[in-house]
């Protein structure tokens, strides 16, 4: 004997998601098919439990490939900026393209789309963060810091530092020294 049935895949998927997430005791919201929003950040164990529960039904958690690429871009930039020899040797756009095997235009487009900022702006922010770290934790002059971060001059570093932080590097140094004296 045969019977013909009709499937409502959306209903079935939502029912499976609901059943599994309820069993795990997680607070969530089903935004639309293919997207679950959790009310809190999940621990690594909770994510693993969700993956296992979903895998039983052929449901897979997908990482947004664009977000993954943006994180890779950030990591490569951080690595490059943190290594003075490398940063003097390579042009950032060429280095990114070579390391990630995409054209710089594509990388720039994805980065801007996901972060609402440019790669160039991210590079400036990372350089200023590193400059602040060097001012606080190392005994380098501003000239040495500018050289280490591949700035053409102390004036260029100072201009970007002030534009980013609202303070000149010298003013930042004075504030840090005063705070260290108080502690």
pLDDT at 131: 94
3-state secondary structure of 139: coil
Secondary structure in 3-state letters for 28-73: EEEEECCEEEECCCCCHHHHHHHHHHHHCCCCCCCCCHHHHHHHHH
Q: Which two tokens stand for residue 105?
A: 């235009």
Nearest Cα residue to 164 out of 116, 135, 121: 121
Mean pLDDT in consecutive groups of 10 residues from the start of the chain, 183 residues = 72 88 91 76 91 89 81 90 86 93 95 95 95 88 91 94 94 88 80
Contact 75, 96 (CB under 8 A): no
pLDDT at 33: 52
CA distance 140 to 131: 10
pLDDT at 132: 93
Q: Which domains, and CATH codes, for the chain? A: 9-55 (no CATH), 66-182 (1.10.10.60)
């Amino acid at each position: 004997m045969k019977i013909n049935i009709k499937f409502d895949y959306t209903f079935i998927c939502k029912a499976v998601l609901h059943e599994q997430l309820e069993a795990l005791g997680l607070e969530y919201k089903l935004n639309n098919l293919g997207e679950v929003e959790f009310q809190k950040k999940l621990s690594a164990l909770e994510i693993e439990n969700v993956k296992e529960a979903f895998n039983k039904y052929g449901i897979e958690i997908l990482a947004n490939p664009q977000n993954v690429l943006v994180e890779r871009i950030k990591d490569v930039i951080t690595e490059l900026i943190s290594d003075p020899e490398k940063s003097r040797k390579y042009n950032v756009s060429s280095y990114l393209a070579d390391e990630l095997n995409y054209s710089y235009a594509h990388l720039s487009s994805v980065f801007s789309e996901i972060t609402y900022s440019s790669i160039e702006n991210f590079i400036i922010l990372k350089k200023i963060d590193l400059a602040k770290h060097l001012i606080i934790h190392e005994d380098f002059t501003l000239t040495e810091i500018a050289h280490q971060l591949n700035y053409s001059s102390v004036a260029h570093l100072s201009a970007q530092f002030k534009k980013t932080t609202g303070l000149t590097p010298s003013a930042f140094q004075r504030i840090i020294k005063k705070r260290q004296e108080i502690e």
